[in-house]
Amino acid sequence: MTRATQLLIAAAALFALAPVAARAAAAGPDKEVQRMNSFGGSCPNCELSGRKLAGAHFMGANFSGAAMVGSDLREAHFLGSTFSNADLSRADLSDSEIVGANFSGANLASARLRSTEARGVTFSNANLARADLSDMQANGANFTNANLKGASLRSTDLQAVSFSHAVAIGADFRDAQLVAANLTAGAFDQASFRSADLSGATLAHGSFAGADFKDAVLNRAYIGGVDLSRARGLEQEQLDEACADNRTRVPAGLVARPCSGGFRWISRAIPAPPGPPAPPASRVVVEVLKSRP
């Protein structure tokens, strides 16, 4: 995100926040938080657990370390905002729009992000254990080092996403689009990739013991250095389309074939995941949120 874009987002947040904050202040401290639908500025470590914030707009806001446990954030908009190390466990972000936001290190355990649109979002080092990300569109998102144990990513659009070093044991990737995704050195034991599209993805050095690949597409997927000997559902036809090396291990009776047809795997072909956006420039403090019991 450029400096000019940050300033525009911050300015928009100021204009959107000012009239709403004024009405809330005039009405007194007993008004409900949901009447205020646009939040900008800085509110780190705020206590907002269990709040009704459906449809809220967070624009250029800094909610680092905030507690939003179990909060209702359905159809909310997170634009260029920072929620690093925030606690959103059991929060509902279904149908929300997340653009250029930073959730690195956030706790999203058992959170709901169904049908969420997440563009250029950073979830690195985040805890998404048992989270529901079904039908999410998260092209180019960064899940590096994230905890996705038991998470549901069924029918998600995860093209060019980084799951490098992620722990996704028992995760559900059925019917997911993982084209050009980076699964390098990730733990995907017992995960389901049934009918998933892994075309051009790299699985190098990942762990896939007990993972289910039935009907998965592995066209030009790089499986060099991968032990797939205990994977389930693999067919020779799938392996014939993948790009292996002499370290690749496959189930008994199947053969891993080296890259053929002039195709040579180039790891840098995978787009680098986006880094976290810079902290917002606006310093407007959301006192109304802080004052609510």
Contact 27, 51 (CB under 8 A): no
pLDDT band at 259 (very low <50, low <70, confident <90, very high): confident
Q: What is the pLDDT of residue 40?
A: 79
Q: Which residue has the higher pLDDT, 68 or 13?
A: 68
Asked whether residue 110 carries a pLDDT value surpassing 90, the answer given is yes
96 confidence band (pLDDT: 50, 70, 90)? very high
**Span 133-140, average pLDDT:** 95
> Residue 260 in 3-state DSSP?
coil
Confidence of residue 169 (pLDDT cuts 50, 70, 90): very high
Query: What average pLDDT does range 82-92 have in this prediction?
Result: 98
What is the C-alpha to C-alpha distance for residues 139 and 169, in angstroms, rounded to an integer?
21
Q: What is the mean pLDDT of residues 153-174?
A: 97
Name every residue whose Cβ is closer than 8 Å to that of residue 66 and which is 6 or more positions away in sequence. Answer: 43, 44, 45, 46, 47, 48, 83, 86, 87
Give the distance, in angstroms, between the CA of residue 140 and the centroid of all CA atoms in the same chain.
9
pLDDT at 74: 97
- Better-scored residue on pLDDT, 229 or 29: 229
Q: What pLDDT was estimated at residue 184?
A: 97
Overall average pLDDT of the 72-86 stretch: 96
Beta bridge partners of 132: 112, 152
Length of the chain in residues, anyone? 293
> Of 72, 81, 128, which is closest to residue 105 (Cα–Cα)?
128
Interior angle at CA 240, CA 196 and CA 167, nearest 5: 40
pLDDT at 41: 84
* Average pLDDT for 84-93: 98
- Dist. CA 240–CA 170, nearest whole Å: 26
| pLDDT, average across residues 113-131 | 97
Q: Which helix (H) or strand (E) holds 177?
A: none
- Tokens 């729009």 identify what position? 97
**What count of other Cβ atoms lies within 10 Å of the Cβ of residue 264?**
7
Say yes or no to pLDDT of 164 above 90: yes
pLDDT digits (tens, 9 = 90+) for 178-224: 999 999 999 999 999 999 999 999 999 999 999 999 999 999 999 99
Three-state SS at 9: helix
Of residues 273, 281, 282, the one with CA closest to residue 119: 273
Looking at every residue in the chain, the average pLDDT score rounds to 83
Confidence tier at 264 by pLDDT (50, 70, 90):
very low
Per cent of the chain over pLDDT 70 is: 76
pLDDT for residue 47 is more than 70: yes
31, pLDDT greater than 60: no
What pLDDT sits at residue 38?
Answer: 77
* pLDDT number for residue 260: 65
Alpha-carbon distance values, 135 to 11, 71, 92 (Å): 32, 21, 14
pLDDT recorded at residue 35: 45
Q: 1 and 26 in contact (C-beta within 8 Å)?
A: no
Tell me which H or E stretch contains 99: strand 97-99
For 9-23, how does the pLDDT look when each residue is reduced to its tens digit (9 = 90+)? 333 343 333 333 333
Across the beta sheet with 57-62, the strand order is: 38-42, 57-62, 77-79, 97-99, 117-119
> 270: buried, middle or exposed (CB in 10 Å: 19+, 13-18, 0-12)?
buried
